[in-house]
Structure 1
Amino acid sequence: MSRVFVKEELKENSTLTLTGEIHHYLTHVLRMKIGDPLCLFNGGNQEFLSTISEIQKNKITLHISTAQTVNKESPLEIIIGQAIPKGQKLDDLIPKITELGVSKVVPLITERSDLKTASPQKLVRWQKIAEYSSQQTGRTKVPEISTPLSFNHFLKKYPNHEKILFYELENSKNLHDVLKTTTSQKFCLIIGPEGGFTPQEIALAQKENCTIISLGKRILRTETVAPLVTGILQYVKGDLNTWT
């Protein structure tokens, strides 16, 4: 059964009319017909079973029958602080980390970020990508794509999260060391741009009590780090190794 994210309030035994992009998606992309079932969600912890009752040129009407509570969220809260990369890299990154269960993505303004990438139109696009990816992966909650924050501002936020910054020149601590000692279920993963963090940014992170680690002898691309580390965290401390 197809799933779609909607922003409207959903209730059992009610009627919902959809227009615009979602009307086009249902009728021209999914090619749905009257009588077809459709699963709806709106970012809460429930899915709503509906049936298409009417299709018109510019709107589609659904009858919502029942709701069921769904829990496909990880016990971990993972926030990705991703320095804004070049080109379309965030477009490709967001689906992967949505599938892996991240809670939020914060584009970071660092000294070597590509600020041209983070236009208001891009932020809207990134949120839509997160919504679509949640549809595909069965989640009922959609990761929030934050407005960009300065590196300094981000370091001061989320005081209850374990902040882990990845730095290719670190040679005394790695991810295994962190996972052996931490009891936290809340993480901020801080990932630099293509040119890496500057020494001044590393010093600032140390001052703000970030844990600075290396991911080994090979330098990873900026778009590789978040899916890799999120997957490891979900396997070791989350729900990637369970079936219930």
Structure 2
Amino acid sequence: MNFDLNSINVILPLLLQGLKVTVIASTGAVIVAIALGLLIAILRRSAGRVLRLAIDSVVTIVRSTPLLVQLYLLFYVLPLYGPAMSPMTTGILGLGIHYCAYLSEVFRAGIDAVPKGQWEAAIALQFNRFQTWRRLIIPQVVRIVLPQVGNYFISIYKHSSLLATITVVEILGTTLNYAGETFRYFEAFTLLGIIYFIVGFSLSRTVGYLERRLA
């Protein structure tokens, strides 16, 4: 099949609409992953032995099973025994829960990198536990782990294509729908690859810039 340049005028607006959905899903998943990952890292340091063992077990299970399987469980199995969620909500939670297991290790390493003297300073200033984390530790951890979090954001952006398997019409889902209706697979997937590259390359350059600034 020859590449039809005229079809780009039809495909491009559709893919840009799908890209908006991809960006929304990726951003939402990053927020969930950061919030849960930081919470897990703090609990691993502060909670009792039983709770730490339970958290470690859940994190191990999440990291040892494929993201696609987890999305299927949330979308097709969970509604049989619990609340049903929209495809977008399921996708955001699925991506966020999967990557929070990895980000929890990033935050744990960031917490360990905070000098011991900072904890001692908090005691000297008579900070309670909440004040110690909020005013002293977390601001330093954010600066330490920001480049690594940026790299995981890129991974989440690329893996958001799996949301097409649970009927989220993001950029890949839009491409599949258009190609299935028109049989213009060559044009659709070529343009899809170009868009993925442009956005992914821009994100990687941004992360590199932040890494240099925070070095």
Instruction: State the TM-score bracket (shorter-chain normalisation).
Output: under 0.3
Flag the structure with higher strand content. Answer: 1
TM-score by length of 1: 0.22
- TM, length-normalised to structure 2: 0.24
The structure with higher relative contact order (CA 8 Å, sep 6+) is 2
Q: Which structure shows the bigger proportion of residues in helix conformation?
A: 2
